[in-house]
Amino acid sequence: MKAASPIGVFDSGLGGLTVFGALARRMPEEALIYFGDTARVPYGSKSPEAIARFSAQAARFLASRGIKLLVVACNTSSALALPAIRRAARVPVIGVIEPGARAAAAVTRGRVGIVGTEATVRSGAYPRALRALSARIKTESRPCPLFVPLVEEGWWNGPVVAAVAARYLAPLKAARVDALILGCTHYPYLKPAIARAMGPRVRLIDSAEETARETERALEGLGLRAPRGRRGRREFYASDAPDRFRRLARRMLGPGVGQVKLHSFDA
Ligand code: DGL
């Protein structure tokens, strides 16, 4: 492991690009390799066993590219598969749950809403992480399974998104939460619609920035920060339809997104 080695970033699809963007803004000199498992997205409706198997494969692939640290930019994998990912990656691993919980605990007056995939909500990972930070925080969780396909389809605003958001979020609004954890890295794409549905008094928590901060701290602790000065290399892989991934990634990150290579797990 060398300081000049890249950081690996992994998600089931486009969602982890919200974390990738935060890492690139915070540490422009770091080389970053992204893998989106577009052949198998969504993970959120799969079994824990499938999620662990897919996540471990992704971790092994990124490890084979010589990464110095792995950021699991997927709440579903972070909630259900961290032990399998750690065994496969053999480098330090950072998930998105703890950073998101910390960011929510820092701003809430006591009632935190959590939205995520079915698997993440069922795992109870966020309520557990919040309870560990403060016994007085009350939580209310709701799965929003249609959000991920809307994002992967490129429908990030408009009347369909507004109607889906209003329906999913009504119980959280009724529970009078004052902070809402976007517990899926796809959801920040829908932030304007989610903010409109929740109203101006609810703080939306997107764990991307907090995860980037934690990654920086971890690299500093390990003495593995890349030398300052030159911009790090950016590399993108998808397990299916790399051109489609590139088109949407450019909409998200800008025209700097270069070639997206195919890495398939099929024999
Ligand atoms: N973006 C991922 C997450 O944070 C996964 C969404 C999915 O594949 O269902 O949970």
Domain match, 18 and 109 both: no
Which pLDDT belongs to residue 81?
97
- Please indicate, yes or no, if residue 15 is contained in any of the structural domains: yes
Digit-coded pLDDT (tens) for 233-254: 999 999 999 999 999 999 999 9
Which pLDDT belongs to residue 218?
98
- Please indicate, yes or no, if residue 223 is contained in any of the structural domains: yes
- Please indicate, yes or no, if residue 103 is contained in any of the structural domains: yes
Domain match, 101 and 203 both: yes
Digit-coded pLDDT (tens) for 131-173: 999 999 999 999 999 999 999 899 999 999 999 999 999 999 9
Digit-coded pLDDT (tens) for 180-229: 999 999 999 999 999 999 999 999 999 899 999 999 999 999 999 999 88
Domain match, 181 and 197 both: yes
Separation of alpha carbons 180 and 222, rounded Å: 33
Of 22, 15, 67, nearest to 216 (Cα)?
Answer: 22
Among 207, 224, 251, the domain-final residue is 207
Number of neighbouring beta carbons within 10 Å of residue 37: 26
CA 230 to ligand 1 centroid distance, Å:
32
C-beta 184 within 6 A of ligand 1? yes
Separation of alpha carbons 235 and 231, rounded Å: 13
Domain match, 115 and 191 both: yes
Which domain covers residue 230, as residue numbers?
Answer: 7-95+209-262
Q: What contacts 62, CB < 8 A, 6 or more positions away? A: 8, 10, 33, 35, 70, 89
Closest ligand 1 atom to residue 76 Cα is 10
- Please indicate, yes or no, if residue 150 is contained in any of the structural domains: yes
C-beta 14 within 6 A of ligand 1? no
- Please indicate, yes or no, if residue 106 is contained in any of the structural domains: yes
Domain match, 61 and 133 both: no
Closest ligand 1 atom to residue 12 Cα is 8
Domain match, 81 and 13 both: yes
C-beta 55 within 6 A of ligand 1? no
C-beta 78 within 6 A of ligand 1? no
- Our count of domains for the chain comes to 2
- Please indicate, yes or no, if residue 1 is contained in any of the structural domains: no
C-beta 20 within 6 A of ligand 1? no
Which pLDDT belongs to residue 267?
59
Q: In testing the pocket of ligand 1, which one of 76, 80, 189 has its CB within 8 Å of the most ligand atoms? A: 76
Digit-coded pLDDT (tens) for 87-129: 999 999 999 999 999 999 999 999 999 999 999 999 999 999 9
Distances (CA, A) of 174 to 33, 93, 120, 171, 199: 41, 37, 22, 5, 12
Among 163, 191, 207, the domain-final residue is 207
Domain match, 48 and 143 both: no
- Please indicate, yes or no, if residue 267 is contained in any of the structural domains: no
Q: What is the model's pTM?
A: 0.95
Domain match, 192 and 137 both: yes
Among 187, 207, 227, the domain-final residue is 207
Mean pLDDT of the chain: 96
Catalytic residues: 74, 184
Q: What is the mean pLDDT of residues 34-56?
A: 96
Domain match, 217 and 176 both: no
Domain match, 237 and 180 both: no
Domain match, 101 and 196 both: yes
Q: What is the mean pLDDT of residues 46-73?
A: 97
Domain match, 74 and 132 both: no
- Please indicate, yes or no, if residue 2 is contained in any of the structural domains: no
CA 148 to ligand 1 centroid distance, Å:
7
CATH of the domain at 186: 3.40.50.1860
